[in-house]
Amino acid sequence: MEKIRISLAQVNPTVGDLEGNGRLVERAICAAKEAGADLVALPELVLTGYPPEDLLLKPSFVRDNLRTLDAVADAARDVAAVVGFVQPDGRRLYNAAALLAEGRVQAVYRKHLLPNYGVFDEKRYFEAGYGIVVADLGGVRLGITICEDLWGEEGPHVACAAAGAQLIVNINGSPYHRGKGTQRRELLEKRARDNGVAFAYVNMVGGQDELVFDGQSCVISSDGTTLARAAQFDEQLLTFDVAGGAVLGSETSHVGEPVEIVGLAAGSGPKPPVEAAVAPELDAVGEVYRALVLGVRDYLGKNGFGQAVIGLSGGIDSALTAAIAADAIGPGNVLGVLLPTDYTSQESLDYADDLAQRLGVESVTLPISDAYEALLKTLDPIFRDTPWGLAEENLQARVRGTLLMAISNKTNRIVLTTGNKSEMAAGYATLYGDMAGGFAVLKDVPKTLVYELSRWRNQESEVIPVEIIDRPPTAELRPGQLDTDSLPPYESLDPVLKAYVEDFESIGAMVEAGLDEAVAGRVVAMVDRAEYKRRQAPPGVKITDRAFGRDRRVPITNRYRVPSQ
């Protein structure tokens, strides 16, 4: 009975770093060889990083990616490799997978299905491919597909199975959102069973601007059983053996597309057995926490920031942000800044200090009242005889933003903003104030999930003082202020935001689902009004099904109001 060994290289490439990504691939090839693999699969567009966006419009970028492919191909000796790259054909580009062996490109598969929804813009750049590639590796027939191909019921796996493929290697740049792992696994199980073929699914890990890739590479047998799975959010090489019986299915009778069949030699000699490892999955809150940590670590690391500065208010958002930052880059690289006014309560200061100590981050207190008063005095010709109000509240937030940015400029620390998705949705945030910074850690995290994440982080030890979690939320921009002065309670707000922001539901549908009509109407109007603010927000990690940003492209100038029915 034939037996071959395959490694799935769950690596963390960087967009645009052709040389670095090439080295990453070469190291993976090397590691796979050491593991005795006959073939190693790397993620979608691993050479360019994903998504390369408009870099694809630079001819030199496409050309340089081909040079990198040549270099990588040269390393693929004694082991075959499947490597994602951009293939030009005249003026057209293809999202492609090269099958490398014996030091050169043996075949190229071009992605059939191009996602152009949500965060994806692939039809902006790529043409749809046609035809399939099946490789014969030591008697085992392997099909190759790319990411979205898997999501179409009639995707190229059908033709691959018809052409006798027993295992389909599907390479991915599949971004994370909550529960995506389960969604993918169910899909893979269905495709495997429907087509009677096993799947080897390899995904990248790492953060790229607003996206985080979670890995979870896996091997699914043709009866839908998960045989092996790599961990979430970590680089790993997942190696498994394929033998005739257990993993591979029978042929199907579909009529396929033009097939290119490539013969590859499998390594000879006995190999030490590989134990199938199925990494445990993180719980529903833990996976979000890990996504945020990785998103922050990579945004900072890949953009050259070793240190961060965070305004600490004594509230839960800044506490959680600081905890994530400390976990991402180490507490020694995080500076907390307390920026109190006369409205700031002593307990806020105490809680913030306590937090900093528990996290082990340095903190400094810069009282802002003098600067605030000086700005108010400067504004006197215009503010004189007007009632105190929103302008004065925002001014405090902007003094804080200005001070944090000054510290950023002076010390080369990136400012991490602390606002959550509920605030960002409702417009309960100040442009150039608490929204000022390089990365918005909780931008896609609803307030109710901020609480869950804080409790999750406190499981082992109380890193975030429990008083911070238990106190009622306040911006402390005027005496006795509470968030509920301006917003519905978060338990009422968040379900409306989910329905409206993520699912584009009508108010009628929300009411049918049991939400309060008055709250829904009020919240929807707030979301609509705040689009202009979000357009100037820093990037932040996408963790829901629909984040603000490229995922949700709503015009600023927009007179449409969702009807109540």
Which residues participate in catalysis according to the annotation? 44, 111, 147
Handedness of CA 175, 177, 182, 183 (dihedral sign): negative
Q: Can residue 381 be called a binding residue for a second copy (CB under 8 A)?
A: yes
Strand locations in 50-111, DSSP E?
80-89, 92-101, 104-110
Of 48-56, 78-86, 317-325, 470-478, the window that binds a second copy (rule: CB under 8 A) is: 48-56
- In the complex, what is the shortest distance from the CB of residue 282 to a second copy, in angstroms, rounded to a whole number? 24
Query: Considering beta carbons, is residue 14 or 106 the nearer one to a second copy?
Result: 14
Q: What is the DSSP string of 219-256?
A: EE-TTS-EEEEPPBSS-EEEEEEEETTTT---------
Report the residue from 431, 463, 523, 530 that binds a second copy according to the rule CB under 8 A. 431
Quick check: 465 binds a second copy (CB under 8 A)? no
Which region among 35-43, 54-62, 239-247, 257-265 touches a second copy (by CB under 8 A)? 54-62
Check binding of 343 to a second copy (CB under 8 A): no
Residue 258 phi/psi, 5° resolution?
-50, 130
- Give yes or no for residue 92 binding a second copy (CB under 8 A): no
The least CB distance from residue 20 to a second copy, in Å, is 7
> In the range 508-537, which residues lie near a second copy by CB under 8 A?
532, 535-537
Which stretch of DSSP H or E encloses residue 292? helix 284-302
- Closer to a second copy by CB, 304 or 479: give it: 304
Query: Closer to a second copy at the Cβ: 52 or 256?
Result: 52
Report the first-to-last Cα separation within the chain, whole angstroms.
Answer: 64
| Binding test (CB under 8 A) with a second copy, winner from 436, 445, 487, 493 | 436
Q: How far is the CB of 309 from a second copy (least distance, A)?
A: 10
Q: How far apart are the C-alpha atoms of 520 and 523, rounded to whole Å?
A: 5
Site map (CB under 8 A) of a second copy, residues 408-427, x = contact: -xxx----------------
Tell me if the bond preceding 381 is cis, omega within 30° of 0.
no
Write the CA distances from 385 to 71, 198, 361, 381, 481, integer angstroms.
Answer: 71, 75, 44, 9, 23
CB of residue 549 vs a second copy: minimum separation in angstroms? 9
Q: Is 311 in the site for a second copy (CB under 8 A)?
A: no
Interface with a second copy includes 390 (CB under 8 A)?
A: yes
Instruction: Rule CB under 8 A: say whether 379 interacts with a second copy.
Output: yes
Q: What is the 3-state secondary structure (H, E, C) of 414-483?
A: EEEECCCHHHHHHCCCCCCCCCCCCEECCCCCCHHHHHHHHHHHCCCCCCCCHHHHHCCCCCCCCCCCCH
Q: Judge contact between 510 and 500, C-beta under 8 A.
A: yes
Task: Tell whether residue 51 is a contact of a second copy (CB under 8 A).
Answer: yes
Nearer to a second copy, 265 or 364 (CB): 364
Instruction: Select the span of 30-38, 137-145, 156-164, 379-387 touching a second copy (CB under 8 A).
Output: 379-387
- Classify residue 166 as exposed, middle or buried by CB count within 10 Å of its CB (0-12, 13-18, 19+): buried
| Residues in 107-136 at the binding interface with a second copy, rule: CB under 8 A | 116-117, 121, 123-124
469: number of Cβ within 10 Å? 16
Q: Name residue, tokens 């005889």.
A: 385
Interacting span for a second copy (CB under 8 A) from 12-20, 146-154, 267-275, 460-468: 12-20
Indicate whether 306 belongs to the interface with a second copy (CB under 8 A). no
- 401 forms part of the interface with a second copy (CB under 8 A): yes
Q: For the chain, give the number of residues.
A: 565
Among 30, 246, 265, 391, binds a second copy (CB under 8 A): 391
Residues contacting 454, CB < 8 A, separation 6+: 316, 319, 320, 323, 464, 468, 469
Residue number, 68 or 174, with CB nearest to a second copy? 68
Please, which residue, 235 or 362, has the CB nearer to a second copy?
362
For a second copy, which is the closer residue by CB, 90 or 555?
555
Asked if 106 and 77 count as a contact pair (C-beta separation under 8 A), the reply is no
Rule CB under 8 A: is residue 486 a binding residue for a second copy?
no
**Please, which residue, 190 or 561, has the CB nearer to a second copy?**
561
- Could you give the angle at the alpha carbon of 436 between the alpha carbons of 434 and 441, nearest 5°? 80
DSSP character at residue 148: G
Q: List the interface residues with a second copy, window 172-211 (CB under 8 A).
A: 207-209
